Structure 1
Amino acid sequence: MPIRHGSAPKRSEPRKGCAIPNLAAYPVAPSETAPKQRRAAIDDPAGLVIERRPLAGCAAIEAEWRDLGARAIEPTPFCEPDFALSAAQHLVDFRDVSVLLLWDGPAASRRLLGFVPARLRRRLLGQDELIGWNNPRLGLATPLIDIDQAERVVAALLHAPGRWGLANTQNLQLNRLDLDGPLLHSLLQVAEHTGHAATLEPAPAPLATADQPDLAALRHGLSRHGKLSFAESGSRQELRDMVELHLALEASGSLARAGGAALQDIRESAFLRAMTRNLARSHRCRVGLLCLDEKPIAGAILIGRSPRLWLYSGSQDERFASFAPLAQLIAWLGRRGRQREILADLPGLHAVTLPQRLGDIRLTVTAKTVRRATPLIRRRAAAA
């Protein structure tokens, strides 16, 4: 039973060898409803620059990107170079992903404060909308935002006037956010002080599951069919070998018969190999196998760093499905490290994994703010 889841202002001289990015440097519109003591923190970004760039083009700023990931208010491997660049290189549905980069400081010493994969949704009536990243491969779609500048970056996103297509955008929608994460708290707080109405759309609660299986009894029953052994990748060579065994196991089941196994898709298998190899360099990927007489009957690919890991891919030999070999493997992997939590929203695995609390948030400018902001926008346009 496999389981898988107008134009910008001209710049002086672009750097050689790089595509010319589309830049717009505009301060955040001041909020007339925010308390005065909060305006310096939220409404004065001091020349924050917003740049739009294709995801694949972000390889040129990989060092700044990684540095931001290390100080993000909510780190996530799915929005960092090892995962995202591999996806942009190999997967078709990541080719057209664009990213909003929020920079601070002069060009010679600028600092990356925000990395927000997003697209613009045009509307004939009403305000345009920025839609955050959303893809079924993402366990979490939280953008990377500097922990010390979170309110400032969020305020800039909520008032992202630019000349490259965001002139009327004052709505922001972010998908697959952690409902218990600090970024969501910051978003709601900033929205309250900038006159935005926030609508939270949490994901449906997980369905109630039956009584948890007695894994010890099932493991005893499975041991009657041969010698059981558990293994977790240690070195990068072990990880590469175990990824191949996992892929082969997945390709032997019903997913392969339906044409959906990774090995049946050149791009998908190339992405999986590159992504796991890249994440393994920073110890953020591991693979587990459960073998019966040295033959794999369950495999799992985990992404992340303790204490939180995501089950990216899991598979098991359907001949032994009644003994829940994948659940047994996940339970063993969870006990391998101290305070290790394995997250997965997968039916039948809630006995051994923690379900993710994910939700979508929509921040919409209120009617009161629209009336006050429009003259300000007109004054800027006249002065430009």
Structure 2
Amino acid sequence: MREPSPSQESAPTSVISEPQGGEPRTPLTVECLGLSQAEVYIDAWRKLAETCAEPNVFLDPDFALPAARYLTKAPRFLFVWDGNDEKRGLVGLCPLAHPGPGEGFFPERLWTHNQAPLGTPLLDAGHAKDALDAIFAWCLKHFGTGAGLIFPMLPQEGVVAGLLRKGAAAEGREILTLDAGKRACLSGGQEPQQYLDASIHSNRRRKLKRARKLLEARGILTFQVATAPEDVRAATESFLDLEAKGWKGRRGTAFLKSTEGAAFAREVATKLAAGGKYMVVSLTLNAQALAVGLVLKSGNRAFWWKIAYDEVFAHYSPGVLLASEGTRFLLSDATIALTDSCTQGAYSMIEHIWSERMGIADVLAAVGAAHPEKFDVLARRERLRRTLRSRLKAVVLWLRQWKRGRAHAQG
């Protein structure tokens, strides 16, 4: 478990942002809080996560706080408040990554980590623009003109991306899109069978039908959904076991391969399930788990977070079969308007099931309009950093494949 150091627990820092235009309103206050300070306001945080303009379950306190304790350096949490000390409401939450050795040389960035494939800040639906303006005002005061702020893995058609573009245009601030791509998603309100018939290629549908029949010939094939907390705990353990036995276990990245990872996964399951925001979908054969998926919820949005399958049955495509049945389940839930596939790579199994795509990108925004030349230098450094990182990843991947091929040849 990662305990925050004293330097990470800063005293609250405030900046007042006056709402622009419209009816006069109480100025918004921004406080920069450390981990233990942020935990004090967990009830207000939960309420904001459930009612915000653009849902992000990975910033729900029942996900973000365990991640900050177990997985990464604790971020700096910017809490945006509306009202005075006696009666105030939380209208924005934006976690900033803890500064590294290149502080000031590269842009600041919102906090994400390997288990959180989305960087959308939480903004109250009725105060979204003002809350975002307040965050930028705080950053301008503390980071100075010419500074930049990266919003990683931001949906490009979402509320926050739209506000960023409008704000930059209105104030004359620079804004750049980096590492743009597409991510599979699933819109609610569609008839399940019609959707699957239209989105899955006929050859793949035939193969899945044949695989299902072969499995059914071996016993009772069942699709199950766990939502009750006690059922979620048992189903999550099945997922953890399957993940540890698969390629992530061999690579050492499965949750059970570290004490911190296992504690994080179990705490998130317990806490989110208690609030009805965590589901486990499973495909079982004679009560034995073939594939297990973890689905999270926030507001009217679902997130297909994780999937693991028994590699002994890989020939039967259990993960694809589970995704197909999971799609039926998600489309049958009228409370889900959109499901995010949470994919982060160029290829994903779910892309062959879900035909829809959402634009996703990192957005680098200048925190002020003054000194655009300083921001341009900062942006060039960030682009160079990303290029070098991409090339290094390619070398590592090549070496990994070379070692695997050499080991296979030696036999």
TM bucket (normalised to shorter chain) is: 0.7 to 0.9
* Cross-structure match for 1:113: 91
Q: Does 1:40 align with 2:18?
A: no
What residue identity is the alignment partner of 1:192? Answer: A
- 1:181 aligned to which of 158, 170, 177: 158
* Cross-structure match for 2:193: none
* Cross-structure match for 1:144: 122
* Superposed counterparts of 1:280-299, under 5 Å: 280-299=273-292
What residue identity is the alignment partner of 1:25? Answer: V
Q: CA RMSD in A?
A: 3.0
* Cross-structure match for 1:213: 204
Q: Output the CA distance in 2 between the equivalents of 1:329 and 1:278.
A: 25
Structure 1 gaps, min length 5: 1-18, 29-37, 372-384
- Once the two structures are TM-superposed, the CA of residue 104 in structure 1 deviates from its matched residue by 2.7
- 2:110 aligned to which of 115, 118, 132: 132
- Once the two structures are TM-superposed, the CA of residue 115 in structure 1 deviates from its matched residue by 0.4
- CA spacing shift, 1:20–1:97, aligned 2, 3 Å: closer
Q: Output the CA distance in 2 between the equivalents of 1:307 and 1:150.
A: 17
* Cross-structure match for 2:365: 363
Q: Does 1:263 align with 2:244?
A: no
What residue identity is the alignment partner of 1:362? Answer: L
What residue identity is the alignment partner of 1:136? Answer: N
- Once the two structures are TM-superposed, the CA of residue 191 in structure 1 deviates from its matched residue by 1.5
Q: Output the CA distance in 2 between the equivalents of 1:219 and 1:142.
A: 38
Structure 2 gaps, min length 5: 1-8, 185-198, 373-411
Cα pair 2:15 2:138 within 8 Å, conserved: no
Cα pair 2:280 2:292 within 8 Å, conserved: yes
- Once the two structures are TM-superposed, the CA of residue 47 in structure 1 deviates from its matched residue by 4.0
2:245 match: secondary structure: coil
Q: Does 1:122 align with 2:103?
A: yes
- 1:89 aligned to which of 61, 64, 69: 69
Alpha-carbon displacement from aligned partner over 1:25-53 (angstroms, at most 9, x marks no partner): 3446xxxxxxxxx94259x9854322111
Q: Output the CA distance in 1 between the equivalents of 2:238 and 2:82.
A: 46
Percentage identity across paired residues of the two chains: 23
2:178 match: secondary structure: strand
Cα pair 1:75 1:144 within 8 Å, conserved: yes
Scaled by the length of structure 2, the TM-score of the pair is: 0.73
- 1:69 aligned to which of 11, 30, 49: 49
* Cross-structure match for 1:348: 349
* Cross-structure match for 2:3: none
What residue identity is the alignment partner of 1:172? Answer: L
Cα pair 1:72 1:146 within 8 Å, conserved: yes
Q: Which has the higher helix share?
A: 2
Cα pair 2:15 2:137 within 8 Å, conserved: no
- CA spacing shift, 1:276–1:366, aligned 2, 3 Å: closer
- Once the two structures are TM-superposed, the CA of residue 325 in structure 1 deviates from its matched residue by 0.5
**The 10-residue stretch of structure 1 (240-249 or 52-61) with the greater mean CA deviation from structure 2:** 52-61
Alpha-carbon displacement from aligned partner over 1:225-284 (angstroms, at most 9, x marks no partner): 333111111321111111111211222223223333222211111111110111112211
**The 10-residue stretch of structure 1 (139-148 or 300-309) with the greater mean CA deviation from structure 2:** 300-309
* Cross-structure match for 1:199: 176
Cα pair 1:25 1:162 within 8 Å, conserved: no
Cα pair 1:78 1:138 within 8 Å, conserved: yes
Q: Output the CA distance in 2 between the equivalents of 1:365 and 1:63.
A: 30
- CA spacing shift, 1:360–1:90, aligned 2, 3 Å: same
Q: Output the CA distance in 2 between the equivalents of 1:305 and 1:26.
A: 29
- CA spacing shift, 1:324–1:161, aligned 2, 3 Å: closer
Cα pair 1:73 1:147 within 8 Å, conserved: yes
